[in-house]
Structure 1
Amino acid sequence: MDAGALRHQQQLVLARQRFIDGAPLPEGLLPEPISRSWRRSRDAGLMPGQACLSALEPDPCELGDSDRLLADCVAPEIDRLWGLIGGPSWTIYCVNLQGVIVYGRQPHDRTSPLGQLHIGRRIHEARFGTTAPVCVLAEGQPIVLVGTQHYLTEFERFFCVSVPLHGLNGELIGALDFTGLGERQANSVMEQLTYAAMAAENRLYASLSDCQLLSLQHDPRQLDTPLQGLLAVDAAGRIQAANRVAQNLLGLARGRSVGEHLETLLGERSASPSPSAPQMLTLADGSRLYAQLLTPRSRPRPKAIAPAEPAVLGGDAQLNKRFDAARKAFAAGVPVLLQGETGTGKEVFARALHAHWKPDAPFLAINCSAIPESLIEAELFGYSEGTFTGARKGGAKGQLEAANGGTLLLDEIGDMPLALQTRLLRVLQERCLTRLGATTSIPLDVRVISATHCDLQQLIARRGFREDLYYRLSGLEVRLPALRQRTDLDLLIDRLAQRYNSPALHPETRRVLKGRDWPGNIRQLEQALRLAAALAQGESWVMPEHLAFEPSAPEPRSGRLQDALLSTIQQTLEANGGNMTATASQLGISRTTLYKKLREA
């Protein structure tokens, strides 16, 4: 845990003590949904120190018919997730609207506290205090809850991510939760749960036996997947149900579509949807969608997107082929070298490789260009007590040692100092390391993924990178394409927009997004869509003005100065073969400043 996170945790503990005595919570200390749960927990008479799991009633709640239907829909997704991200310290479960667990997977160890979270157990605020599924049921939005954000101190050791589950017309019917001891990458878990929830929601439509199901999406590759829009249409052609995606695609308010005739939403030129192949539909507002009738055989089991594949992979066939090769190579112990521009998703790609191989093992990432050269050796290899002034008592693990048994991502490997490259090569060859100032070695079992935006071959030619280390790290080289080179921009836009619960994208907004160059790649696109979703709250559409782009604004003089500075940096960087250390030295600035300037660009 870094110093900032530790300070925040200490502030939370102190604020909770004062809160119990009647003091208000400091503004901004907790997300507002969590603050509201804390207040409800206190009002219910809960004390943070009281026991919960050990004092639970033994008798489970009985499940009704609607609970069993919900369990049937979520069970395949929970089982699939459990095989990918489950483990002895984790649980995945689904609760209904009353907080009763209708289905879940828990550790087999009966002594584990997670074993109490079985089918029939009710997770309610008056007993459990602030938990992720409780907040989801109260707020209707995804929640991440970590450590001291829990109201009860008993749950401070837990990491929880929960997402809402919606019924046939978008109404809240429950929550899907991932809880355990330790910590995971919250965005990755959230995305996996979201796709699982969407797949489970789509399974509910199998119960509408007297309706035809119409699958809708901008991209035909998303039809009959968890990302599809679904309309249930009766024999008279009237819409009986529409899922959240369909409501967004059609710009409908929740429930407004029920009873409406399908023809009122479609333009006169639209072809009739067919089960044999996707058809292009032109809507009454002029926008276009692909549609396909789902056959009864395909209804109960819509195809699922593998949950370990994050949004960065999308539907680009070439990139998915590269990921599949990298996944197999990495699982076999072959080191992988990722190359690509800034923002193309190298770290997310690396995390996905790790999740396929050993999701319960540690994953650590170190940015070789963001750490001062004087500190990077201690950061990577650790140090023993007394190595230097201010060294921690007992010494400290380095990132390599902390990742033992798991994966270490060496980001911007091209900026690693030459002397450190030599030591890293020796560690990888001998599979053991020695902390700075120590004399004993530590056995090391770690898999390494490296990433860079540099041309390492040029660096080798300029003697800026060791050739033998390059061959040690590049068992398989994978180049990640820039966003402008990808064939699945529509799919990426939709996935990222759905991550932030965005209203439907207006066709003109989509045209603007697809027309931009995106020098910051996926990272820049994601931030643009995140802002647009926030600015368009309460609207039916995300309009171009919500993107906050100002292409026609006159360029200020400071902007021209920044462009000139950036041009100088880029020319110097290119002349040095992408070597950040040499470039910073030539420009007379630190590597940290250089990296900051490039990120600001």
Structure 2
Amino acid sequence: MAASPAILSARRAEGDHIEEIERVLSGAVSTRDSTVVRSWLRCVDEHKLDPARPTEAYIVPETQLREHREQSERLIGIARTGLEHLYRQVAGQNYVLLLADAQGVTVDFLGDPAFMDPLREAGLMLGSEWSEARTGTCGVGSCIVAGEAMTIHQSDHFDTTHTRLSCTAAPIFDTNGALTAVLDISLLRSPQPKVSQTLALHLVTASARRIELANLMARMRSNWVLRFSRSPDFLDVDPEAAIALDGSGRILGMTHGGAILLAGVAGLDWREAAGIIGQPLSCFFDMSVDDLPAFTRGRAAEERILFARDASAVFVHAIEPERHPASKRMPAPILPQSLRGLSGGDSQMDALQAKAAKLAGTDIPILLQGETGTGKEYLARAIHECRPGNGSFIAVNCASIPEQLIESELFGYGPGAFTGALARGKRGLIEEADGGTLFLDEIGDMPLALQARLLRVLAEREVTPLGQSKPKTVRIKIISASHRDLGQLVEEGRFREDLYYRLNAAVLTLPALQQREDFDWLLDRLIHQRASAQNKQIRLAPDARLALSRHGWPGNLRELVNVIDVALSLNEDGVITGQDLPALARTPPSRETLNQQIPFEAKRSKSARAKLETALAECQGNLSEVARRLDIDRTTVYRRIKRLGLVISRP
């Protein structure tokens, strides 16, 4: 039966679209926007996509979606009001709104329930992945790569599956200048030309700007915030940019507009604006921290004009820090005393404290993850102190006890169990922790043979000392910790999978010191604690504070404590200056140091990439053999290759 005219027309349009992409790839001049052309080139050169092989929309599995939403939980809460406001503005025009994370996965969604089936088919729904590497040129994915707002209209899309869509997206940046999400507004069909989406582009860009401002205000309540506008009329109602400052006038964070403003004043590319963090405000504007009160709302907006170092001028609204921010955080009053001192307002630590408080009273095993020196044992002790009863806290460093002794140390032994044993025997550390907490630090270094015995303790709540046959019942809280990725160790056969799933019933990941938003609070708290122990009164000079804030801290809290102790020892006049700091702490972090500070999940991703690259090389590009070696299906191998942008080399 002959194809219908509509089908024939669609096939001709697909053929024309593919031919146009091929002409662009051959270097022909195109009438498309430059952002579209660059994306098409990336799709072929970097992502290895084929326009002649259309790909259906991809929805991530429910478990992955839950992980993506949990990681974006704070932003979703802040952005929701902005999304609902934008959705009301375009009501009745058949738009759907997507909030995607930095990986292109939709973590929040607003759309007409009457159109759910076609929206699901098009991939315009919760859990859809719109990364450029998977989907080709599209609003979300191309916006993530370019870091700029854009409209990808109909045949701008690389993949013919999506050429009926019109997608307009704007990036959302975090307070450190890194892209953290994308706000997208899309239509299933639009008979109008691309210029018809100009208003949509304006609306989505303005909404992204307001979400960034709300995020900055929420995170920086205890700090000065400056909001900027080119016009005094919009200064107090819809500012274009904002930055946050600490008490000494150093820049703590900014919106994307703030990054563009400061980078412009300093003659920098805004994409390198992360280097602005930690710089004093006086480097950019003709003012100091002492001038801030003069720019609060007490004066008329047109009088709050500020001159920049490049002779430009803006209007500014200075917002004072909240004087008692801790009293306004709802979780604080219900947190046990031992947990309250772990955070000075850091969002990750606040969430961690709340989870730890709920888990402390249970017998659920807890796995603490995080880089070396982030305070895992300190957190374990705080959790133990929340628990009822008078049981002991027993800490065991699995990496420091010799392998031949660790079994007897943990499980104990009976009289005459082995040569050199005490005649009366010895209670093991597990038994010593009965009624309390057993903290197994560096659990990833525990020998495999011993892991089997520990698994039995967890499963049976019994311990059998060496040389004895009668088990003893124990009731203990197990908290384990590691700076290594235990999941990766399981894949490598260096850690028992069954023990891993016993230990990681609940996982708490401590952020690296460089990632924490409450660095100044931590610094002041540690200086006070260490100085008080030595009966000293110490103040930190601005140059020392700036040097410490710029340092990379590969050793995290442990390194910071050491630096403070050295400075206290060298100081003679009660003021720590930059000269009192060890040389390493006065030196900006090297590229190698920064590479060492990749967050835990990013390290895991890099490890997975290396493992796949090795398997591809050793199997000479044979995907079936790679799948067998990695114990995954062939489709998963192909999907990972596309996501990571790897090249399959065959002999």
Give the structure with higher Rg (CA): 2
For normalisation by structure 2, the TM-score amounts to 0.39
